[in-house]
Amino acid sequence: MLDMNWIRENEELVRNTAKWKKVIFPLDELLEWDDKRRELRRETEQQRTERNRLTKEVERLLRQGDAEGGDAAKEQVRQINGRLTKLEAELAEAEQRCGELLLLAPNPVSADTPIGADDSENVELRRTGSLPDFGFTPRDHVELGELHDIIDIPRGVKAGGPRSYVLKGMGLYLHLAVQRLALDVLTGRGFTVMDVPVIVRPEALERTGFFPGGMDQTYELNGEKRWLAGTSEVSLVSLYSDEIVDAEPPLRLAGMSACFRREVGSAGRDVRGLYRVHQFSKIEQVVICRNDPAESERMLQEILANAEHILQLLELPYRVVAVCSGDMALKTHKQYDIETWMPSRGAYGETHSASNLHDFQARRSGIRFRDENGRLQYCHTLNNTAVATPRILIPLLENHQQEDGSIYIPKALRKYMDGREILPASPPNRN
């Protein structure tokens, strides 16, 4: 959420931001309602002041024995109360409407964010690692999963419907291993790791900027007035809503959770395999810091570096891109994506997304800190994936496959895999 006074002072930037992000934001309607709200507040305060004056006048007149004058003043108070009832109802409506419209206001993008229409205009910043040169026709992760009996998509669909899957045996252990690796890396870098709720209140999604715009991507629990979160970012930020926090040093949080997304609008896209599924697991980084742009930029680079380090430990080639305005969410101020090489796609596929939101979430969520002068200020919040699985299994299996069908296990994962160096080409007996 943006500050209303700031919006008025930066009207042109707000209009441009909506255009750059391709969102519908009725700024003119908001300004009209805010004008009305300001006038109603002024009138209401005037009427309350006059009522207070007349109430004291009634007391004075009655003390003086002027019953007639007291009754006249009482009648004026009665008329003012009638006007106030109407004014307060109109003011409540204006306050509500301004609040609803403010939820639609897009967060301005950083000065170094590329202006573009969609993900085709994201800007590559760097590449790390060498693409595999197989010397043979590589299998995709679905074929490898079937060969090793570690992924069963048909049975997953039988139980859960489209975009479902089952991880079996060593597939499950790989899934857990990359999570353990991410947790250990983040713990070693000062993060507090948490297992957080995935069933959340609607206000948690609204305060973190996922509602009202993302309701079509989110599963609702009918009759419960609660929703399944698509990322533990929702819970991690909500843990501190309406609190005054100690943001020095920054709060570094890591949430482990299942995640659920409806993937509305993705019909026919990425239908094969594990790239786009309804249920997945993720280790998410969240940072809450002071509202110093330089500090939150440093934290953005830090959480980006954490994710890159994990990919380097997994021995996977990847690239970092600056996300353009048209590919950014309403809430985002600056964003990097990490895309990991996926041989079956013949391209890099998104595996991580790092965002700096400035005070957008904290303002909605009421998360504040005291500055050096003791004044309350809204914090900055940031988030980034540490690892999301099963999507990360796509490059992990495909990049590390050998000609005989065996799969190399990166050194950093072996301690979580009972010391195994490879998954052999001959899988265990199928059940």
Query: Which of the following is catalytic: 276, 319, 345, 420?
Result: 276
| Residue 127, pLDDT score | 98
Instruction: Tell me the per-residue pLDDT of 280-324, one tens digit each, with 9 for 90 and over.
Output: 999 999 999 999 999 999 999 999 999 999 999 999 999 999 999
Estimate the share of the chain in helix, then strand, then coil, as percent rounded to the nearest 5: 45, 20, 35
Active site residue 127: no
| Residue 182, pLDDT score | 98
Q: Output phi, psi for 33, to 5 deg.
A: -65, -35
What's the sign of the alpha-carbon dihedral 144, 146, 150, 154? positive
- Scanning 149-232, the segments in alpha helix (DSSP H) are 153-160, 170-188, 202-207
Instruction: Tell me the per-residue pLDDT of 351-364, one tens digit each, with 9 for 90 and over.
Output: 999 999 999 999 99
Active site residue 63: no
Across the range 147-170, mean pLDDT stands at 96
Name the DSSP letter for residue 247.
Answer: -
What domains sit in the chain, N to C, each tagged with a CATH number?
4-102 (1.10.287.40), 119-423 (3.30.930.10)
Q: Strands 192-195 and 251-260, how do they pair?
A: parallel
Residue in the structure block whose two tokens are 């991507």: 217
Stronger pLDDT, 281 or 222, i.e. the higher one: 281
- The token pair that represents 359 in the structure block: 């005070």
Active site residue 350: yes
Q: Calculate the alpha carbon distances from 137 to 129, 343, 423, 430 in Å.
A: 21, 10, 19, 25
Active site residue 391: yes
Bridge partners, residue 408, by sequence:
422
Query: Which of the following is catalytic: 353, 355, 365, 406?
Result: 353
Bridge partners, residue 256, by sequence:
195, 283
Strand (E) positions, 129-248?
A: 192-195, 199-200, 219-221, 226-228
Buried b (16+ CB within 10 A) or exposed e, 194-204: bebbbebebeb
What's the sign of the alpha-carbon dihedral 142, 146, 150, 153? positive
Which one-letter amino acid corresponds to residue 56?
A: K
**Residue 63 belongs to what H/E stretch?**
helix 27-63
| pLDDT classification of 1: cutoffs 50, 70, 90 | confident
Measured distance CA(390)–CA(330) in Å, rounded: 27
Across the range 324-350, mean pLDDT stands at 97
| pLDDT classification of 69: cutoffs 50, 70, 90 | confident
In the predicted structure, residue 122 carries a pLDDT above the cut 90 = yes
Active site residue 353: yes
In the predicted structure, residue 214 carries a pLDDT above the cut 90 = no
| pLDDT classification of 431: cutoffs 50, 70, 90 | low
| Residue 152, pLDDT score | 96
Q: Are 355 and 113 in contact (CB under 8 A)?
A: no
Across the range 106-119, mean pLDDT stands at 97
| pLDDT classification of 66: cutoffs 50, 70, 90 | confident
Torsion of CA 239, 226, 92, 362, to 10 degrees: 20
Query: Which of the following is catalytic: 252, 261, 290, 364?
Result: 261
In the predicted structure, residue 181 carries a pLDDT above the cut 90 = yes
| pLDDT classification of 213: cutoffs 50, 70, 90 | confident
- The token pair that represents 217 in the structure block: 């991507």
Residue (of 328, 321, 320, 327) closest to 360 by Cα position: 328
- The token pair that represents 235 in the structure block: 């819970």
Which of helix, strand or coil describes residue 15? helix
- The token pair that represents 223 in the structure block: 């009759």
In the predicted structure, residue 430 carries a pLDDT above the cut 70 = no
Asked which of 45-49, 189-193, 208-212, 424-428 is least confident by mean pLDDT, the reply is: 424-428
What's the sign of the alpha-carbon dihedral 39, 42, 44, 50? negative
* Residue 54 CB contacts under 8 Å (≥ 6 apart), including other chains: 73, 76, 77, 80
Asked which of 207-221, 246-260, 265-279 is least confident by mean pLDDT, the reply is: 265-279
- The token pair that represents 397 in the structure block: 């299996």
Which one-letter amino acid corresponds to residue 156?
A: G
Query: Which of the following is catalytic: 284, 308, 350, 398?
Result: 350
pTM tops 0.75, yes or no: yes
| Residue 229, pLDDT score | 97
Measured distance CA(19)–CA(113) in Å, rounded: 14
Give the chain's mean pLDDT. Answer: 95
Measured distance CA(69)–CA(86) in Å, rounded: 26
| pLDDT classification of 427: cutoffs 50, 70, 90 | low
Asked which of 67-81, 307-321, 340-354 is least confident by mean pLDDT, the reply is: 67-81
Measured distance CA(187)–CA(352) in Å, rounded: 19
Measured distance CA(10)–CA(18) in Å, rounded: 13
Measured distance CA(283)–CA(303) in Å, rounded: 12
